[in-house]
Amino acid sequence: MTLAEKAYVSLRKDIVEGCFAPESPLRLADLSERYGMGFSPLREALNRLQAERLVTAESLRGFRVSAQSLAEFEDALQARLLIETEALRQSMAKGDDAWEASVVAALYALRLQTRRQGGDVDELKLRHHTFHRALLAACGSDWLLDFFERLYAATERYRIPALLSAGPQKRDIDAEHGAIADAVLARDTPRAEALLRDHYLRTAEAIRSGMAPA
């Protein structure tokens, strides 16, 4: 793996996880020290992230972490619902036994981690992402999966602060995931879509309530 690739992975992770505040400048000298590499690989990574809308660039003024706002989040949420319901529909229409098995496996692994007290939160986020991608993986469309990844990263930035300041968890998220998986495996498309939709709308509600109206 080249330095530019490492820079991309590290920067992306740190931005999505909120290590840098939104709109804060990403100065090359700082990044160079933080990640232990020269300017070139960092600039390449920043350019990739710019195309993904995680950072913004202004000519001769460098890069910044993209801004966050409630409007931006609502936009990403709506786009997610559009993309994911369609991808889920197609995935359920086309998925084979191996796909079903991967959904079961992802759900199982996710549950193990949610129930593990004091478990690694990074691992939990990874397994959550894996489960949601597994649901859509058989849709057969590279473009839809690409958009899913973009939107997942964009909304993850909002989800994480909400998770950390999570008050009394009124939701049984394991149960929600389980219900979605059940409907998916039963090939009950309308129910699966409705459950997935509810799942996201509830998360959105939690994020809205925990977010200052910017």
Window 20-59: residues binding DNA (CB under 7 A) = 25-29, 37-41, 43-44, 57-59
Segment near its own copies (CB under 8 A); pick from 95-103, 145-153, 194-202, 205-213: 145-153
Q: Tell me the two tokens of residue 107.
A: 């759900």
Q: Quick one: which of 14, 17, 44, 182 contacts its own copies (CB under 8 A)?
A: 44
Q: Tell me the two tokens of residue 89.
A: 């529909």
User: Cα separations (Å) of 185 from 95, 100, 111, 188?
Assistant: 10, 7, 17, 8
User: How far is residue 157's CA from residue 75's CA, in Å, rounded to a whole number?
Assistant: 14
Contacts of 210 (CB under 8 A, 6+ apart): 161, 162, 165, 167
Q: Quick one: which of 60, 98, 175, 212 contacts DNA (CB under 7 A)?
A: 60
For the chain, state the CA radius of gyration. Answer: 18
Q: Quick one: which of 9, 19, 51, 166 contacts its own copies (CB under 8 A)?
A: 51
**Least Å distance between CB 2 and its own copies?**
6
Name which of 37 and 194 has its Cβ closer to DNA: 37
SS3 category, 79: helix
Q: How many residues bind its own copies (CB under 8 A)?
A: 34
- Please, what's the b/e burial string for 16-26 (b: 16 or more CB within 10 A of its CB; e: otherwise)? bebebeeeeeb
Please report, as ranges, the residues that interact with its own copies according to CB under 8 A. Answer: 1-2, 4-5, 40, 43-45, 47-53, 59-60, 72, 75-76, 78-79, 82-83, 86, 140-144, 146-147, 151, 154
Please report, as ranges, the residues that interact with DNA according to CB under 7 A. Answer: 2-4, 25-29, 37-41, 43-44, 57-63
